[in-house]
Structure 1
Amino acid sequence: MLDIAAELHRWCEEGRDFAVATVVTAVGSAPRQPGAALAVDAAGTVIGSVSGGCVEGAVYDLCQDALRTGQAVRESFGYSDEDAFAVGLTCGGTIDILVTPVPADDTRLRPVLAAALSSDVDGRPAALVRIADGPPELLGRALLVHPDGSYEGSLGPALDRTDRTAALDRTAVDEARALLEAGRTATVEVGADGGRCGEPVTLLVESAVPPPRMIVFGAIDFAGALARIGKFLGYHVTVCDARPVFATARRFPDADEVVVDWPHRYLDATEVDARTVLCVLTHDAKFDIPLLERALRLPVAYVGAMGSRRTHEDRLRRLREAGLGQSALARLRSPIGLDLGARTPEETALSIASEIVAARRGGSGVPLTGAHIPIHHDLSASVGMGWIGSVV
Structure 2
Amino acid sequence: MLDIAAELKPWIEEGRHFAVATVVAVEGSAPRGPGAALAVDAHGTVIGSVSGGCVEGAVYDLCVQALQDGRTVRERFGYGDDDAFAAGLTCGGVIDVLVTPVRGQAPALRVGVSAAERGEAVALARVARGPGGLLGRALLVRPDGSCEGGLGGHPDLDRTAAAEARAMLDTGRTGTVEIAEDGSRCRDGVTLFVESRVPPPRMIVFGAVDFATALVRAGRFLGYHVTVCDARPVFATRARFPEADELVVDWPHRYLRRTETDERTVLCVLAHDTRFDVPVLTTALRLPVAFVGAMGSRRTHEDRNRRLREAGLTERELARLRSPIGLDLGARTPEETALSIAAEIVALRRGGTGVPLTDSGTPIHPDAAGGKEPGAHSRAAA
TM-score computed with the length of structure 2 as normaliser = 0.94
CA distance in 1, matches of 2:301, 2:61: 56
1:362 touches 1:377 (CA, 8 Å); kept in 2? no
Residue in 1 aligned with 2:379?
A: none
1:140 lines up with 2:136 in the alignment:
yes
Question: In structure 2, what is the equivalent of residue 88 of structure 1?
Answer: 88
User: Aligned pair 1:75/2:75, yes or no?
Assistant: yes
- For 1:1-392, list aligned pairs within 5 A: 1-103=1-103, 105=104, 107=105, 110-157=106-153, 164-165=154-155, 167-197=156-186, 199-377=188-366
Instruction: Give distance in 1, aligned partners of 2:362 and 2:220.
Output: 29
Q: Separation in 2 of the partners of 1:353 and 1:12?
A: 34
Paired letter, 1:15: G
Residues 27 and 367, structure 2, Cα contact 8 Å, conserved in 1: no
Task: Note the C-alpha offset of 1:287.
Answer: 1.0
Greater relative contact order (Cα < 8 A, sep 6+): 2
Question: Structure 2 regions of 5+ residues with no counterpart?
Answer: 371-382
Q: Secondary structure at the match of 1:222?
A: helix
Counterpart residue identity of residue 192, structure 1:
E
Change (3 A) 1:254 1:331: same
Contact conserved, 1:304 with 1:335, CA < 8 A, in 2? yes
What's the CA shift for 1:199? 4.8
1:82 shift after superposition: 2.0
Instruction: Tell me if the contact between 2:38 and 2:46 (Cα under 8 Å) persists in the aligned partners.
Output: yes
Task: Quote how far apart the aligned CAs of 1:197 are.
Answer: 3.7
Report the count of equivalent residues.
Answer: 370
With normalisation by structure 1, the TM-score equals: 0.92
Q: Is the 8 A contact 1:192 1:198 kept in 2?
A: no
Instruction: Give CA-to-partner distance per residue, 1:277-315, whole Å, 9 cap, x none.
Output: 000001111211111111111111111000111111122
Alignment CA distance shift 1:126-1:19 (3 Å): same
Question: Residues of 2 paired with 1:98 and 1:16: CA distance?
Answer: 20
- Kept after mapping to 2: 8 A contact 1:26/1:34: yes
Contact 2:23–2:96 under 8 Å retained in 1: yes
Displacement, 1:181? 1.6
Is the Cα contact below 8 Å between 2:178 and 2:188 reproduced in 1? no
The answer (yes or no) to whether the contact 1:363–1:377 under 8 Å persists in 2 is no
Residue type matched to 1:63 in 2? Answer: C
What is the Cα deviation at residue 360 of structure 1?
1.0
Per the alignment, do residues 136 and 273 of structure 1 end up closer, same or farther by CA in structure 2, a change over 3 Å counting? same
The answer (yes or no) to whether the contact 2:29–2:367 under 8 Å persists in 1 is: no
**Residue segments in structure 1 that go unaligned for 5+ positions in a row:** 158-163, 382-392
Contact 1:119–1:208, Cα closer than 8 Å, also in 2: no
Report the 3-state secondary structure (helix = DSSP H, G, I; strand = E; otherwise coil) of the residue aligned with 1:82: helix
